[in-house]
Structure 1
Amino acid sequence: MSHQALYRDKRTTAAQAVRHVRNGDMVIVPTGVGEPPTLLTALSEQRRDFLDVKVAQILAMRPYAYIDPETTQHVRHVALFFGGATRAGGQAGWIDFIPNYFSEIPAQIARGLIPAEVVFSMASPMDDDGWLSLSLGADYTMAAVAKARAVVLEVNPNVPFANGDCRIHISQVAALVESSEPVLEVGLPKIGPVQEAIGRYVAERIDDGSTLQIGYGGIPDAVVMQLAHKHDLGIHTEMLGDGILTLIEAGAVNNSRKNYLPGRTIATFALGSRKLYQYMHRNPALEMHPVDFTNDPLLAGQNDNLVAINATLQIDLLGQCGSESLGHAPFSGTGGQSDFVRAANRSRGGKAFIVLPSTAKGDTISRIVPSLSPGTHVSTSKNDIHYVVTEYGVAQLRGKSAKQRAQELIAVAHPDFRGELTAQARLARLL
């Protein structure tokens, strides 16, 4: 049978496609905008027909009707990382959470630790050889494709056909539906004076020729906005966003001095604008790969001068970062922060930056604390931390004693809290 005949044979309605899901299945969905809205809407509409179905995903983007506390016995969301659509359910306890390092999710799927009976994903149109691209989220989805009983795709002409290990053959597909709605766009976060100040401190410490990993958020993007005058930067990251595209268009990024995969921007998922998605289409200077490739500290750390830029919510005086919860209440997830901090530490000349405003809640709470709030999930350990940056400066913690770390961090805390932090550090015998 020809590729086109196979395609026609597997094309169906969303209502029929979701019937490949069986009671008790785990459905794997890609990160962010790789989620297929037509399929997830159909699953939502039929959710009461199922029992004990789980949908596992990093960073769900839309509040689909299946994300419903009244129907969790039918279809239940399992978060690998919380976002706006799932955070409240996670904090209330009716959305499940699987702790993880982003880089290790594919291995957990391959070993059966995270089940993967079905895959739902967005995909590009098929090429002449029968291949479709899962360009928006190769992440853990490619591992799930290899494991799943049924792969169900939502084929959309607005999904780019990207290079890299992100393609699936029509012969591997159980069913597909077609849609033509624009891919969800995610704008750059709002950047204020605090973010600009932090971004300036980080940008001053990034040399020409560095390779960058840039996390999501206002502060990482504030760094990006101040790098347009740099030269010969490279990209080896997990998230491809519009900030990186800005640097490429400015000529600051050309990947020419990368010593690992030179000449190519490397990422595992995309989250940005239509312009970004169009840039990705059949671009030989860009490759999308699974996350166990992009985020493996051993592989990413082969880039000399690798710079990792990630945000945290709270940090204690030893350097433990609570980046994913507010006390016991989950907020996001580990994601790739630990992966890339370790990669930068392995890299010759590497630098790992953890960035955060010095305060929260209108300057009433210090984000630098004597010890993390009870129940806080530690995302980056005291042994991995390198640079910590607030709007008041840069603390360099690697190789420093506990006493020196406390001094460094107090020096970049908000001035209103430095006296209290000093007193608490003395009580804890850190000073």
Structure 2
Amino acid sequence: MKRLQQMSARTTVLSAASAGRASAFGRRAYQGRPQMLSADDAVKVIKTGDRVFVHSVAAAPQALIHAMTRRAPELRDVEVCHMHIEGDASYADKKYEGSFKNNNFFVGKNVRKGVQEGRLDYTPVFLSEIPLLFRRGILPLDVALITVSPPDQHGFCSLGTSVDASLAAVQCAKTVIAQVNPHMPRTHGDGFVHESAISFMVDGPAPLIEHKRGKVTETIGKIGKNVAQLVEDGATLQMGIGVIPDAVLAELTHHKKLGIHTEMFSDGIIDLVERGVITGENKVIAPRTITVGFCLGTKRLYDFVHENPAVQFRAIEWVNNPILIKENPKMTAINSAVEVDLSGQICADSIGSKLYSGVGGQMDFMRGAALSHGGKPIIALPSTTSRGESKIVPRLKRGAGVVTTRAHVHWVVTEWGAVNLFGKPVKERMKALISIAHPLHRPWLEKEVERGFWFDVDENSPKIPESAHVDE
């Protein structure tokens, strides 16, 4: 850890976020210190018909969200938009339908039911392009609700654990209300916001929401090993949060000179930093630093990123820019999927037509890794669902969203092995994918290929036989 922290934190490419800023003080003229108010008084600025952005993931300002929701009887048609947020999303409750509309750029568990019922909305968008919605006035913002660390002696606060698209929201919103939370880590990178760019401050100490690690099952452990075998020494990694990334990281303890350039990470990277596995010395973009848009984990993670110059939180339009991502040699992007069809199409945001998550940054990194010298775009998933149904299927379910096209897919990994589809015609892809499907599913998948389902004019997807279900 000391080795990484002592290395230079300089970057070799100008951050797009920095280039887009009018000044270090935001777009507003300097007005001195913002007014300190209670949460209830601060959110009185929100008017009927306003569009309100809410800070992302663990940085969601709980006190401000509660206060805004309490104003429901006074408000009509307030659009609340955000990426995935943790914690309270009470404004999305059915009883507040007339007061609040909810527009999600990523569907989290606290709004998923409402989106699937059609009460709440979802905007399909690449994570890297969310800031463009604000900057180009496609979704003009009236109010941004954020959480920041207390200002330092120079008046600068930190967006802490989530810089991502939240920085653009702060720069573009007419009014910025900040919950000042001493528990928010002060992070390095693009996330410093001067108090003069904040309209109102609210004192709101509260521990950050934590995300505990899930259980790595035997199946997930095998996937982790198979993915780790594809990771070369000197590679730069992108991966998300969850049991598969945790399983992969646990298998990398003997690797050398790894780097991190990722939209998000969790606790799993800390051990590799402390072991000297992650050094970032082979990175071209922001060498010798960890590059990230946001993080979610336990207090250990939040303590790790606090005042750590080796971890650089950057605006998401920079982190997820494929043109920059590809500059890192051996860029290895590890993502997951709900379902893969035999031609290589990846469904990652829905279960059939039911939206489950979002487009996110998968394609940003799949493309960047594909263009990187020695890069490897990887899709990793269990071969079956929890109900024993195959995740490798002849055709995607009706209504399923294709997040990564068959032309963008390279490596696909399950607990049964890894195959590279890049450059393979469809018939070879089918054989390759069947070889890493669960053995109990391979016979019926082969029969579908033999009967020529690929040329079948019947638009109905072939039904998975009940006898082919795998018991967990």
TM-score range with shorter-chain normalisation? Answer: over 0.9
What whole-Å deviation, never above 9, does each CA across 1:32-90 have from its counterpart, x for those lacking one?
Answer: 11110000011111122111111111112124321211212211221111111011111
Query: Which of 217, 232, 245 does residue 192 from structure 1 map onto?
Result: 217
Work out the CA distance in 2 between the residues paired with 1:303 and 1:267: 14
1:307 equivalenced with 2:324 (yes/no): no
Work out the CA distance in 1 between the residues paired with 2:295 and 2:314: 11
Whether the 8 Å contact between 2:347 and 2:403 is mirrored in structure 1 is yes
Aligned to 2:423: 399
Whether the 8 Å contact between 1:45 and 1:65 is mirrored in structure 2 is no
Query: Which of 100, 107, 113 does residue 138 from structure 2 map onto?
Result: 113
Q: How many residues align?
A: 426
Work out the CA distance in 2 between the residues paired with 1:264 and 1:85: 33
Whether the 8 Å contact between 2:104 and 2:121 is mirrored in structure 1 is yes
Aligned to 1:390: 414
Whether the 8 Å contact between 2:240 and 2:265 is mirrored in structure 1 is no
Whether the 8 Å contact between 2:33 and 2:196 is mirrored in structure 1 is no
What whole-Å deviation, never above 9, does each CA across 1:144-200 have from its counterpart, x for those lacking one?
Answer: 112110011111111111111111111111101112211111112221011000010
Unmatched tracts of structure 2, length 5 or more: 1-29, 456-472
**TM-score, scaled relative to structure 1:** 0.96
Aligned to 2:75: 50
For the residue of structure 1 that corresponds to 2:177, the secondary structure is strand
Work out the CA distance in 2 between the residues paired with 1:8 and 1:293: 30
Whether the 8 Å contact between 1:30 and 1:139 is mirrored in structure 2 is no
The residue type paired with residue 142 of structure 2 is E
- How is 1:275-354 mapped onto 2 (pairs within 5 angstroms)? 275-354=300-379
The residue type paired with residue 428 of structure 1 is G
Work out the CA distance in 2 between the residues paired with 1:115 and 1:72: 22
Work out the CA distance in 2 between the residues paired with 1:130 and 1:6: 12
Work out the CA distance in 1 between the residues paired with 2:254 and 2:335: 21
1:20 equivalenced with 2:38 (yes/no): no
Query: Which of 437, 462, 466 does residue 413 from structure 1 map onto?
Result: 437
Aligned to 2:451: 427
Q: CA deviation at 1:353?
A: 0.9
Work out the CA distance in 1 between the residues paired with 2:106 and 2:114: 12
Larger CA deviation: 96-105 vs 15-24? 15-24
Q: CA deviation at 1:428?
A: 3.2
1:92 equivalenced with 2:121 (yes/no): no
Q: CA deviation at 1:135?
A: 2.0
Q: CA deviation at 1:361?
A: 3.3
Work out the CA distance in 2 between the residues paired with 1:59 and 1:197: 29
Aligned to 2:91: 66
Work out the CA distance in 1 between the residues paired with 2:345 and 2:89: 35
For the residue of structure 1 that corresponds to 2:189, the secondary structure is coil
**TM-score, scaled relative to structure 2:** 0.88
For the residue of structure 2 that corresponds to 1:76, the secondary structure is strand
Work out the CA distance in 2 between the residues paired with 1:328 and 1:427: 27
Q: CA deviation at 1:8?
A: 6.2
Q: RMSD across aligned C-alpha pairs, in angstroms? A: 1.5
Query: Which of 172, 185, 196 does residue 147 from structure 1 map onto?
Result: 172
Aligned to 1:238: 263
Whether the 8 Å contact between 2:190 and 2:315 is mirrored in structure 1 is yes
Query: Which of 385, 400, 403 does residue 376 from structure 1 map onto?
Result: 400
For the residue of structure 2 that corresponds to 1:136, the secondary structure is coil
Work out the CA distance in 1 between the residues paired with 2:85 and 2:267: 19
Work out the CA distance in 1 between the residues paired with 2:436 and 2:110: 34
Whether the 8 Å contact between 2:235 and 2:331 is mirrored in structure 1 is yes
Unmatched tracts of structure 1, length 5 or more: none
